[in-house]
Structure 1
Amino acid sequence: MSSLLLVRNGRRAVSVIGGGRRGTDALSGVHPAARRTIIDLSYSAHFMDFQGSSIPSSMKKLVVNKLSPNFREAVAMQTVAVPTPGDADLLVRNRFVGVNASDINYTSGRYDPSVKPPFDAGFEGIGEVVGLGLSASSRFTVGDMVAYFTSGAFSEYTVVKAKESIPVPAVKPEFLTLLVSGATAYIALKRLGDLKEGETVLVTAAAGGTGQFAVQFAKRAGCHVIGTCSSNEKAGFLKSIGCDRPINYASEDLAKTLKKEYPKGVDVVYESVGGSVLELAVKSLATKGRLIVIGFISGYQSASGFPPFRGDTLPVRLLQKSASVRGFFLPHFFSDYREALGSMMQMFAKGELQCEVDCGDLSEERGL
């Protein structure tokens, strides 16, 4: 038998519709109705959210219509019907969505070349549950606040699988920073960094979305942390989150500074810039050093997507130092995801983790 849940005026209304094999019921002589697997809206013109305001019949969302590293060229705004959640789904009214370098890679077709336009944009969102399927109601209810990491986040409403939704205590943009940026740093350093107390860790683009977390997690592990940045303001921010040696490469020569102040090299590099910075990071590795590649932002908006890299001496450099270079892509480590989020949320609740959010206030261009 299939069941489904309606949400009206803040109350649940359950309608059970018979299913199973076709034929005449032996007791009533009534043919059972066809099986329904989604919420039945025939009883109402619209959902009602937990505060009693109606959900509109249409919404706006961003859709990728062409592959391009230029996000503005790749996407367009569309007005579509508000989606209906299935039996195990939640309908979330988005309050905040996260924008990352991953969005550029996805809209340019570099993450999954098999995905062709049109497709929905965005990965991270946080908001309130305003509708849900009956199975999903065993874990959630209307009015719950959730965060999620799934495609189609750049819209007013998003359908999310209940099992992939993360309950949060409040709809705060800080929690968005944990979904990709925080989780990438937490899992990459834990699984690939093999950090030991007293080691030296270099974080490139340290004041950025994921760099800020790498700095804090490396410091929590008892390491000496170096962070690269592009301004004195960012250097001050890095000091405030525990970075021992911020290096403003706009006013300091990064290569000379590393060679002078860290002649024995660095034990771990958390690298997201690529190109010449990656080359320098390889040269700066200490014996048994580990370099984790989590991105190459310097090339994301180029035609190829990859910054130039001279890797002809890479084998001998790694061999001479028994060093290693490893790549990290978050979707390959989803088995670690919930543990990472739970741990980070506890840190944040205790005031042990700072989540800096760029809300676009300083941007010259806001909106589409």
Structure 2
Amino acid sequence: MNSLRAKLAPLGPLLRRSIVDMSYSHHFVDFQGSAIPTAMKKLLVTQLSPDFRKAVTLMPSVPVPVPGDGDLLIRNRYVGINASDINFSSGRYDASVKPPFDIGFEGIGEVVALGLSASKNFAVGQPVAYVQSGSFAEYTVVPAQVAIPVPSLTPEFLTVLISGTTAYISLKEFGDLSKGKRVLVTAAAGGTGQFAVQLAKNANCYVIGTCSSDEKAGFLKSIGCDLPINYKAENVASVIKEKFPEGVDVVYESVGGEMFDLSVKCLATKGHLIIIGFISGYKTPLGILPVKEAALPAVLLKKSASIHGFFLTHYMSEYKEAIMSLVKLHRSGKLVCEVDNGELSPEGKFTGLESVFRAVDYLYTGKNIGKIVVELPHLVNSKL
């Protein structure tokens, strides 16, 4: 036991924990000198449903997890909301997984405890981000190999973990972007759309973006969108047909249903349509709205056009390079990482795990600008 404590000593007195505490009572000492509680709040999927409020239960008191040898215990400070949270809560991603199970795809926070082998690359107090199921909790255990060191605990970094990398990798793989190409981004002012707009613009493309309000159109102009189209005030198909009679070269599509049909019709010869989601159907029993599939082969053949589906999980070999490139662009001032923390929502800022429910509801109203993020504040109640 003394030899183990000697090995822990280089991590500093702020990591002091007895071996009994480490294995059983989970009563840690964090880097700010306040005791990490033995219990925490977390969200848990308790029944399968596309209705997030029916599927998910707030657990007011569950044990704080214990990190293994290669793990980090992270106190979450910000967690990201994704449209696919309700696909996960409805069991669509893995039919073999039965409730109860954890939920939440991404988080950013500080390391408050870690295993011995994890201490080679991480330290207590270090801010890190991660993509892993189970982020909708006050504390999450994350394998050290999936944790990403970040310079500070700012929610902007959270925007690139899933939303930014999805746009970056999908456009790199299937967009074939180059100067002068016409790119249509649907739901362009959303968490992922904002990146597709900017990445296409950085490639010197002409960018068209659909949105649902004049406020969003203003935001799109501010990040370089050449032609924002408010679909509640304008007919998207008519505008595109008038301005681009030959069609558009690339469509970055995340809405589905009628918007998917429109996107297929407006493709130019040899155009590419990239599907990264179909949010309009996620709340339905089957998770998708019908499209005019019968005509699809003929339309694609006539235009020598193509459609590509993109699911981030299948491209993790590209993930590290995508993150590094996005961070570099952001630091150079070439990439805006817009965060929506709910300040303009009816009940105000999304703060605490309880507000995850509101944040998911807010996402499906389509009123958010940028990535929706929930803050999990931590108050230091005691000092040692």
Structure 2: 5+ residue runs without aligned partners?
358-384
Match of residue 251 from structure 1? 233
Deviations 1:177-211 (A, max 9, x none): 11111010000000111112110000000001100
Q: Which of the residues 247, 257, 272 maps onto 1:265?
A: 247
Checking the alignment, whether the CA contact within 8 Å between 2:21 and 2:27 is kept in structure 1 is no
Match of 2:48 among 49, 67, 86: 67
Which of 279, 290, 301 matches 1:319? 301
Matched, 1:186 2:168: yes
Give distance in 2, aligned partners of 1:358 and 1:151.
22
- Equivalent position to 1:10, from 10, 14, 20: 14
Using the size of structure 1 for normalisation, the TM-score is: 0.90
| Gap change, CA 1:297 and 1:49, over 3 Å in 2 | same
Question: Which stretch shifts more, 327-336 or 43-52?
Answer: 43-52
Q: Which amino acid aligns with 2:34?
A: S
Kept in 2, the 8 Å contact 1:125–1:149? The answer is yes
- 1:57 corresponds to: 38
Q: 1:280 aligns with which of 254, 262, 268?
A: 262
Q: How many residues align?
A: 344
AA at the equivalent of 1:233: E
Code of the aligned partner of 1:257: V
Matched, 1:344 2:326: yes
Distance in 2 between the 1:169 and 1:330 partners? 24
In the other structure, the counterpart of 2:126 is: 144
Residue 204 of structure 2 corresponds to residue 200 of structure 1: no
- CA RMSD, Structure 1 to Structure 2 (Å): 2.0
Residue in structure 2 matched with residue 24 of structure 1 by the alignment: none
Match of residue 85 from structure 2: 103
Is the 8 Å Cα contact of residues 282 and 288 (structure 2) preserved in structure 1?
A: yes
Contact 2:69 2:116 in 1 (8 A): yes
CA offset at residue 14 of structure 1?
A: 10
The answer on whether the counterparts of 2:23 and 2:66 sit within 8 Å (CA) in structure 1 is no
Letter in 1 for 2:89: T
- Work out the CA distance in 1 between the residues paired with 2:26 and 2:112: 15
Identity %: 63
Q: What is the identity, as a one-letter code, of the residue corresponding to 2:249?
A: D
Aligned-pair distance for 1:41? 2.2
Q: In 1, are the aligned partners of 2:17 and 2:29 still within 8 Å (CA)? A: no
Partner deviation per Cα, 1:287-307 (whole Å, 9 max, x = no partner): 110000000011111121101
Query: Could you tell me how far apart the structure 2 residues matched to 1:200 and 1:49 are?
Result: 52
Which amino acid is the alignment partner of residue 22 of structure 2?
L
Partner residue, 2:377: none
2:110 corresponds, among 128, 138, 141, to 128
Tell me, yes or no, if structure 1 residue 301 matches structure 2 residue 283.
yes
Matched residue of 1:101: which SS?
A: coil
Do the aligned partners of 2:217 and 2:228 also contact (CA within 8 Å) in 1?
A: yes
- AA at the equivalent of 1:228: T
Instruction: Give, in whole Å, the separation in 2 of the partners of 1:117 and 1:73.
Output: 13
State whether residues 91 and 130 of structure 1, in contact with CA within 8 Å, keep that contact through their aligned partners in structure 2. Answer: yes
Greater shift, 168-177 or 42-51, is seen at 42-51
Letter aligned with residue 67 of structure 1: L
Query: In structure 2, what residue type is equivalent to 1:138?
Result: K
TM-score, reference length from structure 2 = 0.86
Matching residue's letter, 2:342: G
Q: Of 287, 311, 316, which residue of structure 2 is paired with 1:329? A: 311
Deviations 1:56-86 (A, max 9, x none): 1100100000111111111111121110000
1:312 match: secondary structure: helix
Quote the Cα distance in structure 2 between the aligned partners of 1:249 and 1:156: 39
Which of the pair has the greater relative contact order for Cα pairs under 8 Å at 6+ separation?
A: 2
Determine if contact 2:17/2:28 at 8 Å carries over to the other structure: no
Q: CA deviation at 1:42?
A: 6.0
CA distance in 1, matches of 2:330, 2:72: 26
Residues of 2 paired with 1:222 and 1:143: CA distance? 41
CA contact (8 A) 2:21 2:28 kept: no
Give, in whole Å, the separation in 2 of the partners of 1:237 and 1:309: 30
Structure with bigger helix share is 2
